[in-house]
């Protein structure tokens, strides 16, 4: 050890100088090369750091996209669950509808069977109807022939049982008239040989006031526009038809069958026509009385009667139906034959 240290401290020989210079140059060259390599490594490291930064940014971007995709996936999964639930509901509804269709098919088959049965029944009914129609046609012809013969014998047939257009008669037409139990047909002026009902009257045999009284309100309005004429017809109907209800007539005595006082007639007119003033009702009283006299062909009359009220006397007009008035079809005014004296033992 001591020897080595003494050798190390020895001064080198001059012969070794060139070798040391060569070594320093090599070291410098190596240092330069190392520096250049270091520079290259530094540049490489810088580039790598930049690349790492870029990669980190890219990773962050990818992570962001991943998060977004994750959210979208969760949203899609939620939507898919909803759609799956909806599909399940639709499947259930479709199954219910299918069951209903199957039930409808069963009902339809039943209806088809019933329809076939009904068609068969309809065919049978149609055949039976045709047979009945043929038989009815033959019976109708027989009935019409019998009706024509009976009418030619003087019979009176109810209007509801006769179709005058289908009868073959020698006379050109039938006469429609009214009995106490309703309308009838007969040959003109033919008397009923059986005399089963009261006096018979053709429409033309009635007084004009009777003809108007038989019409309903609408027919009466279409027949005449004059209010006094319509009131006259309603007044006559109130006396002869108990179903009217508002009857201003008063039963008379002696030679008077019935009468209506002018004052009562005024109040009656105001009840029949709403909105009529008292003064206009007074004018209508006179016009209505004139219409009654004209339409009855003066079968009625006007009498003036003295009245006393509240200590004052006054004269009042009355529209009077005499007991001997010739009113067609009115039993009260139809003359009755006198009963012959009966001769017996004394």
pLDDT along the chain (346 residues), means of 10: 46 53 82 88 91 91 91 88 88 88 88 90 88 82 82 80 79 73 75 54 76 87 91 92 85 90 94 91 94 94 82 84 84 43 33
For residue 299, give every residue at least 6 positions away whose Cβ sits within 8 Å of its Cβ, in sequence order, or none: 207, 321, 325, 326, 327
What is the C-alpha separation between 282 and 266, in angstroms, rounded?
6
> How would you label 292-317 residue by residue, b for 16+ Cβ within 10 Å and e otherwise?
bbebbeebbeeeeeeeeeeeeeeeeb
CA–CA gap between residue 209 and residue 243 (Å, rounded): 18
Q: Are 201 and 177 in contact (CB under 8 A)?
A: yes
Amino acid 312: pLDDT: 75
Tell me what pLDDT residue 258 has: 93
HSE-up of 192 (CA within 13 Å, CB side)?
A: 17
Task: Say what the pLDDT of residue 260 is.
Answer: 95
What is the token pair recorded at 65?
């996209």
201-228 CB burial, b ≥16 within 10 A, e <16:
beeeebbebbebbbbeeeebeeebeebb
> Alpha-carbon distance 307 to 318, whole Å?
11
Confidence at residue 2, expressed as pLDDT on a 0 to 100 scale: 44
- Of 343, 323, 342, which is closest to residue 333 (Cα–Cα)? 323
């Amino acid at each position: 050890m001591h020897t080595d240290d003494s050798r190390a401290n020895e001064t080198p020989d001059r012969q070794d100088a060139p070798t040391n210079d060569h070594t320093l140059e090599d070291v410098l060259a190596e240092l330069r090369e190392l520096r250049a390599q270091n520079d290259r490594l530094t540049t490489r490291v810088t580039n790598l750091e930049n690349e790492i930064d870029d990669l980190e940014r890219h990773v962050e971007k990818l992570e962001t996209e991943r998060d977004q995709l994750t959210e979208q996936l969760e949203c899609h999964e939620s939507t898919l669950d909803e759609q799956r639930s909806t599909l399940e509901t639709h499947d259930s509804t479709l199954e219910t509808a299918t069951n209903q269709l199957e039930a409808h098919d069963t009902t339809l088959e039943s209806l088809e069977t019933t329809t076939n049965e009904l068609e068969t029944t309809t065919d049978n009914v149609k055949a039976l109807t045709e047979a009945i129609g043929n038989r009815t046609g033959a019976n109708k012809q027989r009935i019409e022939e019998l009706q024509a013969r009976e009418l030619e014998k003087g019979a009176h047939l109810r209007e509801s049982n006769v179709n005058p257009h289908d009868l073959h008669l020698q006379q050109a037409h039938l006469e429609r008239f009214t009995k106490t139990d309703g309308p009838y047909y007969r040959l003109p002026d033919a008397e009923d040989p059986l005399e089963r009902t009261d006096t018979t009257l053709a429409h033309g045999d009635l007084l004009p006031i009777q003809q108007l009284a038989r019409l309903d309100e609408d027919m009466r309005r279409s027949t005449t526009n004059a209010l006094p004429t319509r009131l006259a017809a309603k007044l006559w109907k109130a006396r002869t038809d108990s179903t009217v209800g508002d009857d201003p007539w008063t039963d008379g005595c002696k030679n008077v069958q019935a009468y209506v006082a002018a004052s009562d007639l005024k109040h009656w007119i105001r009840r029949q026509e709403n909105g009529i003033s008292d003064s206009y009702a007074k004018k209508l009283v006179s016009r209505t009385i004139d219409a009654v006299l004209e339409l009855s062909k003066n079968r009625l009359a006007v009498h003036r009667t003295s009245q006393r009220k509240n200590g004052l006397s006054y004269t009042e007009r009355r529209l009077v139906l005499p007991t001997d008035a010739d009113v067609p079809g009115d039993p009260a005014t139809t003359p009755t034959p006198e009963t012959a004296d009966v001769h017996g033992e004394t």
